[in-house]
Structure 1
Amino acid sequence: MNIINKLTIRHLKQNKRRTLVTILGTIISVAMITAVATLVISFMDLLERQQIADHGEWHVQYHDISSAEAAEIREDEATADLILSGDRGYAEFNESLNSYKPYVFIRELNDSGFENIPVTLQDGRLPESPDEIVVSEEIVAADDETYAIGEEIVLDVGTRVMLANEQEPERPLQQQDALLVEEEERQEELRDVSEEAYTIVGVIERPTWEPSWAPGYTMLTYTDESYMSEESDVNGLVVLDRVDRSLFGHANDVADAAGIERGMISFNNELLRFMGVSNNDNLQTTLYSLAAIIMAVIIFGSIALIYNAFAISVSERSRHLGMLASVGATKKQKRNSVFFEGAVIGLISIPIGIGAGLAGLGLTFAFVNRILNEALNVSVPLLVTVTPWMIVTVVLIAGLTIFISTYMPARKASKISAIDAIRQTSDMKLTEKAVRNSPLVRKLFGFEAEIGLKNMKRNKRKYQVTVFSLVVSIILFLSVSFFTESITKSLEMSQEDINYDIQVMLDGENQGEDFTGAVASLDEVTSASVVREAFFTAWIEEENISTFLQERVEETPELLQEGRYQYQVNVYGLNDGAMRTYAEEIGVEPGQLTDNSDAPAVLIDKAVHIVEVGSGLSDKRVEAAPIQTTTGSQIGLFHENVETGDQDPIRAVTVEAMTDTLPTGVSSGGGLGQLTLIVSEDVYDQLEAGVEHEFFSNSYMYLDSSDPAQTQEDIEAISNTHTYIYNVEQSRNEQGQLVMLMSVFTYGFITLITLISIANIFNTISTSISLRKREFAMLKSIGMTPKSFRKMINYESIFYGIKALLYGVPISIGIMYLIHLSVTNTFDYGFTLPWMSLLYVGLAVFAIVGAAMLYSISKIKKDNIIETLKQENI
């Protein structure tokens, strides 16, 4: 090791406090970079494993293949495994305990299917031939004698077909289609029924891939190529040897070689998007763009912290470097001295930072895994997933961060001349123009403020470093705070509008006031309202439709008819008590909504709409006004005549008020081109009376309860018939846990960001104050009193805070907008400034600067003036 590097290490040891602060700041920075990268990878890994656990592992599906086509697919070099899966059909299950699941559903799988598709065997074994079958536990629970292991069963298996009606023709139905029932009569039947015999060899748990609304309980039997024919209705699900973006084109090539139509190919997009190979996925784009922005902010903050530390180090060592130059040290040696200091700190900080980041995430995951199952309904744990490329990337980013942080100080160190460094004049600005202040400063704030401002201008570089540190801290805090608010807002938009505890469907004998009165008087019920809902249409002029629809209309003008767009209108009628409560809640006189002469209505003017930009998770949620209108305007309602298909006019309602507040039990709609209107019970009756043909209306009772579970039991005891009751307590608990889960991560980042910010500010200000000991001693020597000295320091703190806010807030707003734009890939809502966060950060800046100043001054206030003035280097 050469003499320059030895002197550098000695300097680091002598300035232990500054060295430790720099190392700690670098460790926190590297830990946060590691945590952000690992969190994204781990979360995507969780989603991938959960998708496999729920639906199995496969990547490409070829529909309705023959045995020859199956052989061609299996022989392809990219095929790691081939799953054969076919739906044999449905059979009546007369023993069913659930009227909405009257069938058994039979699916056949080969050996690879039983290995790769999630099937949990409870008892017995899996089928090994087409005449063996395993049954779901619910089937055994309904009839444990007929469906016991070893029993032979004979089923009439057929295809579900929806019966034709005036709106839709006949079509086959799948397991994803719920049972079609209208007025207790099935609107479907089994066709092409054939008798099939099976021997039960095992019992399985209800498969996770069976939808909760599916009409058939699952049974599984066996198949493979030897049992297939040219007419077999079997799908081939391919597990690929290597998954990358080339699989889409390769699947087409395989289909062409096997003679399969390209339209018979589909992909497991849900799994592929989590593996990073989806062609179009807004959720993935949102996640990665947010992570990139947050990581960029963290890197920027890290550079600022480390840069300030090295800039202060060069300032402290300027006299030392000048003396080295005077005895022959070259520019390269002085520059390399700073680079060597950065290398030493990096070698210490980067490994510790990576380890700290992974350990911190490990502890966090250990905590959140306890609530993860309930919050996100996942069955696999969140694991710390580390890849070699991620570690290499973190090391490169951290190394680049330290290099950038040391580059400018190193250049400055190389340019320090021996005379200037020894005299320490390079940072001083002593010209009259450089330190000139406005006369208003002294008149308004006194000579202490003028001296404080002159001192900052005189030591411009140290002043700029301090302001820069504050600006970075403001940007870090506001950016992460806004990120947290954006995630919370997106979470709220992804959840349903559930503002009640229990929903009770009112039908049959449960429609009367006796039933609703008895339910409302239950001890646990704190509030109750009856809501009736019906569906109408309205023709809205083009200039009044929402901005999103206007964009769609420009692309597809045929959506308009005579310059108007047809809206779907959801009308909700509230009983008198609920309407009075709602009117008071939105600040409207109840009489305005119950005066039925003009059919007053409340328009919900803000709603979350789902805009289709793809399939599944690619859809975008948009928060926007459904139409552009004002109070006092009228909306003409129409109702479709089921027999003729005509739109019969009913009457116009008057928009008496507009609000984004929803009454209990009312949803704001889920698509563009929908309106939500709230009317009184009398107005609702007028609308219903205006419909001369068949009219469909639903009635619900919505309850708030101190004990939802007990209330549900009481309602079931009161009801004489089967009553549909939806208890949302569990759903609300899951949403609350999900919010807590997100808060653990986001507020954890805010805590670390705050630590970086405070360390940054205290390190910069305390070091700056320490370097000004001689300056302060000189001011005291010419008669500045302790009171005037404190005033000067206070004014300096204020100047620092104001200047930092003038730069930091606008830059932060720009970064907030970038975060907002990245979120709008999936969730679209208006950009609003977080005024409370801006207020808090303003107060915090002055508080932290003031505390740092007071702390630093307290360390030097007992210094002897003469001894301090005699010191040549502080």
Structure 2
Amino acid sequence: MNIVNKVTIRHLKENKRRTLVTIIGVIISVAMITAVATLGVSFLDLMIRQHITSNGEWHVQYSDVTPNQIEAIEQHSETKKLVISSDGYAFFEETNNDNKPYIYIQSYNGPGMQQFPVEIIDGRLPYKPNEIVVSEEMLSQSKVDYKIGDELHLEIGERVDLEGMKLKQHHFLERDGETLHEELRNQESKEMVIVGVMKRPTWEVPWAPGYTVLGYVDEKLWSETSSIDAYVVVEDVNSSIYENAKSLAKEQGIETVNFNSDLLRYYGVTANDNLRQTLYSLAGIIMTVIIIGSVALIYNAFAISVSERSRHLGMLSSVGATKKQKRNSVFFEGTIIGAISIPIGIIAGLGGIGVTFIFINTFIQNALGISEKLELVVTPASILVACAISILTIFISTYIPAQRASKISAIDAIRQTQDIKLSGRTVKTSKIVRKIFGLEAEIGLKNVKRNKKRYLATVFSLVISIVLFLSVSYFTDGLKKSLEMSQDNIQFDIQLYGDTLEKNELKSFASMDHVTESFLVSEVLLDAFIDKDELPTELKMQIEEYDMTLEDGKYPYYVTLYSLDDENFQAYAEEVGVDTEKFTDPSQLTAIVIEQISYEGGTKGKIIETKSIESEVGNKIDVYLPSYSEIESEQNEPEFLTSVEIGALTDLVPVGVNTVMLGGINLIIPESSLKQLSISDERVSTYLYMNSSDPLATQAAIEERNEPNVHVYNVYQSRQREEQMILLLSIFTYGFITLISLISIANIFNTITTSISLRTREFAMLRSVGMTPKGFNKMIRYESMFYGMKALGYGLPISMLIMYGIHRSTNYTFEYAFRLPWMSIGFVIIAIFLIVGSAMLYSIAKIKKENIIEGLKQENI
């Protein structure tokens, strides 16, 4: 080690506080990059594992393939695992559930038993073509006394509707009362032996018309007439999966190829170009913001003490050090700090996320019912990126002071005349400041202007913190907004529809066990003609694009009129914020209009949020009864029903209401108002929506009543999946915001406390000339205010530009109006002044304890 490097190490040891502060700054920066990357990768890993646990692992499905095609798929270079599957239906003669008249036989080969989740309660998995495993639900609900070893004679065939279309488990039972409008074709007699009992498969939808049993496919017994599906797990999941699968299907003459879009999306792979562009744009913007923040944090840790390094380099120059030696000395200092900080930062980032996961896992498993745990996933890429960014930033942070110091004389460097160059104009302040705020404010402002480098370093740190928080906050809000727009509005567990039941008969189901709340909703389809001035912008654009002709300047709207039972309507009106009295006036029908809707339109796969109508409260909509047939519609004018006054416009959607597409409108009225309209019962469809503490038990109880005209739609799985997604995303995003906030606060405290520490001599001088403690505190408060105002003046506009960039990136797939997050902005404004003030007061409290004489003599910190 040469003498210059030895002097550098000695200098670092003598200036312990400054060295420690710089190391802490680098550690925080590296920890931030590592934590953010690890958090994102670990979250996606959880979603992948949870999806596989619930639905099985497969990436591509080839339908109705032959043995030769199977062989070609298996030999394809991208195929890692191959699962063979076949299915069929048989009438379940012993069922006592009219909604489940079938046994559904889902058969897999050996690998399929491992790839798809099956939980055996008793017995074993099948491994012969004549063996099956029945479900616990089938035995309990049908009250059949099947045991392991029993033989079942089944006539297995394809389930088709009257038009010949194949029907699967997710298709509703085609039935009118007690009459089935579907049949089984190509039936084959088989003797099946029960070898086990399993829990109801998680991939079976609750409204499935058949009880699922698990069978075995023997590859040796395939025939050209067999209906076989192939599920493939590919070797490497990337965007080429779509092109490769479709190319293989075309070569082999396979007509139908399906992709596991939900699972592939967690890998970052999608066939939707707009969605891919959105993901890449958002990732690029947010990573750029984080990288700039980390660069600023490391640079700030060095820049805040540039003057001390300049003095040290000046001393080296005075004893004959060359330009190259001085530069290498600074690089050596950066190398030492990096060698200490980077490993600690990586460990701190991983350790912090790991500890966070321990606390989060308890919540997500207990509250959300998620079987998988968040695991710490460390990728070489995230570690290498954190190291590379940190090394590059340290190099930049050390290179600039070295270059600056090499251009000045040794005397100037030692005296630090280059750091503070004063003139009357430089520190000139407005007379208004002194007149309004007093002498202390003027001194505080002059202190801020006197050393611009130190002042700008502090402001820069504050600006970066503001930009980081607001950008990440808007990014996470955008993610949640996009998820909500892409999900269905499912706020219930079970939907009941009765073809011929009276409302009271239908409502009697609400008193069943486990039902926690119920909503009776009636629906009527109507027509309306809306003036062009009241059409939303998106609809006007479509009219111009397709050159549509309006009749008398009006556009034909379809209207869905919903009536809620009076109790639920009152609760809904209170939530909207309107008085229910004006909606019960018998002389005028008044409705709540849902004005904000989302629909898939424009470019393929793009979800757009817009208004359903550009109108105002108090305006009226004339509604008409639609004709039942095209002939009737052509021969007669629409039958006027009534005028509906708009009582409120809202974006809140009540339970049981499906929002319309573009060119439609939802009207919500109380049940009592619907009774006053002259609408025949055949035009009114009534549904009962229920939430239950045990949706499966409630469904079983409903089906036990054997009401042939009642249709049950159990969506608790879909609802649970949506709630899990939103809550998991909330945990991820708010954890992300908390992490950024803590790092920003640490950055601000680090910057301000270091800056104050370097001003010890300055403060000692003010105290020596008679500034009182009260005046001193007042000066510090005004300095804090000046710092905060300057930081907000730069930080807010920059943040808004970045937020708009994030919004534009999101609009490739999800189109909605740009809105500033005023709550977050207000929080930032308050937080900045509180944090700056707290940091400065904390630093001043330490300085006040020091002796004035020692403060005036102080050279190094």
Q: Same fold (TM over 0.5)?
A: yes
- Rounded Cα–Cα distance in structure 1 between residues aligned with 2:517 and 2:140: 39
Query: Which of 539, 559, 567 pairs up with 1:569?
Result: 559
Deviation, 1:475, is: 1.9
1:208 aligns to what SS in structure 2?
coil
Q: Which residue of 2 is the match for residue 425 of structure 1?
A: 417
Cα 1:297/1:253, change in 2 over 3 Å: closer
Aligned residues of 2:103 and 2:210 also touching (Cα < 8 A): yes
Deviation, 1:103, is: 0.4
Q: Which residue of 1 is the match for residue 820 of structure 2?
A: 833
Deviation, 1:807, is: 0.8
Aligned residues of 2:293 and 2:468 also touching (Cα < 8 A): yes
- Rounded Cα–Cα distance in structure 2 between residues aligned with 1:130 and 1:373: 38
Aligned residues of 2:200 and 2:212 also touching (Cα < 8 A): yes
Deviation, 1:832, is: 2.5
Question: Once structures 1 and 2 are overlaid, which stretch shifts more, 139-148 or 107-116?
Answer: 139-148
Q: Which residue of 1 is the match for residue 522 of structure 2?
A: 532
Cα 1:498/1:26, change in 2 over 3 Å: same
Q: Which residue of 1 is the match for residue 750 of structure 2?
A: 763
| Structure 1 residue 625 corresponds to structure 2 residue 611 | yes
Number of residue pairs matched by the alignment = 852
| Alignment deviations for residues 704-761 of structure 1 (CA, whole Å, 9 cap, x no partner) | xxx9789x99xx89x9986889999999998777666445444444443333333333
Q: Which residue of 2 is the match for residue 222 of structure 1?
A: 216
1:354 aligns to what SS in structure 2?
helix
Q: Which amino acid aligns with 2:535?
A: I
| Alignment deviations for residues 769-791 of structure 1 (CA, whole Å, 9 cap, x no partner) | 33333334444455544444443
Q: Which residue of 1 is the match for residue 181 of structure 2?
A: 187
Q: Which residue of 2 is the match for residue 64 of structure 1?
A: 64
Deviation, 1:31, is: 2.1
- Rounded Cα–Cα distance in structure 2 between residues aligned with 1:386 and 1:293: 23
Deviation, 1:179, is: 1.1
- Rounded Cα–Cα distance in structure 2 between residues aligned with 1:501 and 1:222: 33
Deviation, 1:474, is: 1.9
Give matches, 1:430-445, under 5 Å: 430-445=422-437
Gaps of 5+ in 1: 164-168
Deviation, 1:801, is: 1.5
Query: Which of 320, 325, 331 pairs up with 1:328?
Result: 320
Question: Once structures 1 and 2 are overlaid, which stretch shifts more, 822-831 or 847-856?
Answer: 822-831
Q: Which amino acid aligns with 2:38?
A: T
| Alignment deviations for residues 666-717 of structure 1 (CA, whole Å, 9 cap, x no partner) | 5351644442102244542354x245x94232054779xxx9789x99xx89
Aligned residues of 2:623 and 2:644 also touching (Cα < 8 A): no
2:195 aligns to what SS in structure 1?
strand
Deviation, 1:626, is: 1.2
| Structure 1 residue 349 corresponds to structure 2 residue 348 | no
Cα 1:269/1:871, change in 2 over 3 Å: closer
Give matches, 1:486-525, under 5 Å: 486-490=478-482, 493=485, 511-512=503-504
- Rounded Cα–Cα distance in structure 2 between residues aligned with 1:27 and 1:734: 38
Q: Which residue of 1 is the match for residue 28 of structure 2?
A: 28
Give matches, 1:225-374, under 5 Å: 225-258=219-252, 260-261=253-254, 263-280=255-272, 289-373=281-365
Cα 1:35/1:568, change in 2 over 3 Å: farther
Aligned residues of 2:155 and 2:189 also touching (Cα < 8 A): yes
Aligned residues of 1:136 and 1:206 also touching (Cα < 8 A): yes
- Rounded Cα–Cα distance in structure 1 between residues aligned with 2:587 and 2:842: 72
Q: Which residue of 1 is the match for residue 685 of structure 2?
A: 697
| Structure 1 residue 201 corresponds to structure 2 residue 195 | yes
TM-score, reference length from structure 2? 0.87
- Rounded Cα–Cα distance in structure 2 between residues aligned with 1:865 and 1:786: 13
| Structure 1 residue 653 corresponds to structure 2 residue 643 | yes
Cα 1:845/1:63, change in 2 over 3 Å: closer
Q: Which residue of 1 is the match for residue 780 of structure 2?
A: 793
Give matches, 1:814-825, under 5 Å: 814-824=801-811
Cα 1:387/1:849, change in 2 over 3 Å: closer
Q: Which residue of 2 is the match for residue 605 of structure 1?
A: 595
- Rounded Cα–Cα distance in structure 1 between residues aligned with 2:402 and 2:515: 72
Q: Which residue of 1 is the match for residue 86 of structure 2?
A: 86
Q: Which amino acid aligns with 2:832?
A: V
Aligned residues of 1:506 and 1:701 also touching (Cα < 8 A): no
- Rounded Cα–Cα distance in structure 2 between residues aligned with 1:870 and 1:73: 82
1:172 aligns to what SS in structure 2?
coil
Q: Which amino acid aligns with 1:362?
A: G
| Alignment deviations for residues 564-620 of structure 1 (CA, whole Å, 9 cap, x no partner) | 655442212245565566556655554532334443322122244455866xxx663
Deviation, 1:465, is: 1.1
- Rounded Cα–Cα distance in structure 2 between residues aligned with 1:560 and 1:377: 53
Q: Which amino acid aligns with 1:311?
A: A
Cα 1:730/1:348, change in 2 over 3 Å: same
Query: Which of 390, 396, 399 pairs up with 2:391?
Result: 399
Give percent identity, aligned residues only. 52
Q: Which amino acid aligns with 2:109?
A: N
Cα 1:601/1:24, change in 2 over 3 Å: same
Q: Which residue of 1 is the match for residue 98 of structure 2?
A: 99
Cα 1:370/1:544, change in 2 over 3 Å: same
| Alignment deviations for residues 216-261 of structure 1 (CA, whole Å, 9 cap, x no partner) | 1223433344322333322233343444444444334434543x15
Q: Which residue of 2 is the match for residue 807 of structure 1?
A: 794
Q: Which residue of 1 is the match for residue 53 of structure 2?
A: 53
Aligned residues of 1:375 and 1:735 also touching (Cα < 8 A): no
Q: Which residue of 2 is the match for residue 166 of structure 1?
A: none
Q: Which amino acid aligns with 1:207?
A: P
Give matches, 1:858-869, under 5 Å: 858-866=845-853, 868-869=855-856
Aligned residues of 1:474 and 1:812 also touching (Cα < 8 A): yes
Give matches, 1:88-167, under 5 Å: 89-141=88-140, 147-163=146-162
Q: Which residue of 1 is the match for residue 380 of structure 2?
A: 388
Cα 1:150/1:588, change in 2 over 3 Å: closer
Q: Which amino acid aligns with 1:48?
A: I
- Rounded Cα–Cα distance in structure 1 between residues aligned with 2:393 and 2:378: 21
Deviation, 1:802, is: 1.2
Aligned residues of 1:501 and 1:708 also touching (Cα < 8 A): no
Aligned residues of 2:592 and 2:650 also touching (Cα < 8 A): no
- Rounded Cα–Cα distance in structure 2 between residues aligned with 1:220 and 1:731: 23
2:192 aligns to what SS in structure 1?
strand
1:156 aligns to what SS in structure 2?
strand
| Alignment deviations for residues 453-494 of structure 1 (CA, whole Å, 9 cap, x no partner) | 223222111111111122122222333333444455456556
- Rounded Cα–Cα distance in structure 2 between residues aligned with 1:850 and 1:477: 19
Aligned residues of 1:137 and 1:204 also touching (Cα < 8 A): yes
| Structure 1 residue 594 corresponds to structure 2 residue 594 | no
TM-score, reference length from structure 1? 0.86
- Rounded Cα–Cα distance in structure 2 between residues aligned with 1:441 and 1:121: 79
- Rounded Cα–Cα distance in structure 1 between residues aligned with 2:2 and 2:330: 14
| Structure 1 residue 634 corresponds to structure 2 residue 620 | yes
Q: Which amino acid aligns with 2:42?
A: S
Cα 1:795/1:91, change in 2 over 3 Å: same
- Rounded Cα–Cα distance in structure 1 between residues aligned with 2:164 and 2:470: 57
- Rounded Cα–Cα distance in structure 1 between residues aligned with 2:212 and 2:179: 23
Q: Which amino acid aligns with 1:761?
A: I
Cα 1:745/1:332, change in 2 over 3 Å: farther
Question: Once structures 1 and 2 are overlaid, which stretch shifts more, 562-571 or 64-73?
Answer: 562-571
1:171 aligns to what SS in structure 2?
coil
1:381 aligns to what SS in structure 2?
coil
Aligned residues of 2:525 and 2:626 also touching (Cα < 8 A): no
Q: Which residue of 2 is the match for residue 773 of structure 1?
A: 760
Question: Once structures 1 and 2 are overlaid, which stretch shifts more, 806-815 or 779-788?
Answer: 779-788
Question: Once structures 1 and 2 are overlaid, which stretch shifts more, 492-501 or 815-824?
Answer: 492-501
